[in-house]
Amino acid sequence: MPRFWTLFWPRWYRALRLVDPLLHRWLRHARLGNVVELTVTGRRSGLPRTVLLGLLTVGGAAYLGHPDVACPWTLNLEASGEGSLLRPGAPAQRVRVERLLPGPERERVIRATFRQHPFPGNVLYWLARHHVSHVGVFFRLDPSGPGD
């Protein structure tokens, strides 16, 4: 089963990128579950990169994560240590990030994906929970001031 998820996640996110422009447009006018825009500086290009992600809230703290091994946005976020978060109807907010190491906090965040992500993400995270627990990349967000 682990090989399945290793093959599944890159294909899933490639398919999502096809509908990304529609989701960005929709998100500008309406809420889409816990979906927010994260803008982070590219580690190689130095250009701003924007991605739609599910914002998780656990114990009053905010988190972002990816269910598979590091991907471009997680590598960029880890390299820069900060980004800009845009929630529908709110101004952009700068956030500093800290990658979560394996432990209770990270496990609570992973479990929150089952309840907080919109369908079908919540079901996929639950089905892949063992894979996500072993290789997923998650960050705690700390507000650092107004956005760009």
CATH number, domain containing residue 11: 2.30.110.10
Which residue is it, tokens 């976020």?
77
pLDDT of residue 22: 67
**Looking at residue 35, what is its pLDDT?**
85
Amino acid at 144: S
Strands (E), 2-105: 35-41, 48-54, 56-58, 61-66, 82-86, 93-99
How far are the Cα atoms of 17, 31, 61, 134 from residue 23, in angstroms, in the given order? 9, 10, 25, 29
Backbone angles phi, psi at 56, to 5 degrees: -105, 145
* Structure confidence at residue 92 (pLDDT): 93
Q: Which of 55, 134, 129, 63 is nearest to 99 (CA)?
A: 63
Q: What sections of 30-145 are H helices per DSSP? A: 72-80, 104-116, 121-127, 129-135
Residue-level pLDDT at 12: 85
Range of the domain at 83: 2-146
* pLDDT value of residue 30: 60
| Residue 94 neighbours by CB under 8 Å, 6+ apart | 82, 83, 84, 85, 143, 144, 145, 146, 147, 148
pLDDT of residue 89: 80
Number of domains in the chain: 1
Q: In the numeric block, which tokens belong to residue 71?
A: 């991907």
User: Could you list the pLDDT tens digit for every one of the 148 residues in the chain?
Assistant: 568 998 888 888 888 777 777 666 665 656 667 888 899 999 999 999 999 899 999 999 999 999 998 899 999 999 999 999 998 788 999 999 999 999 999 999 999 999 998 888 899 999 999 999 999 999 999 998 665 5
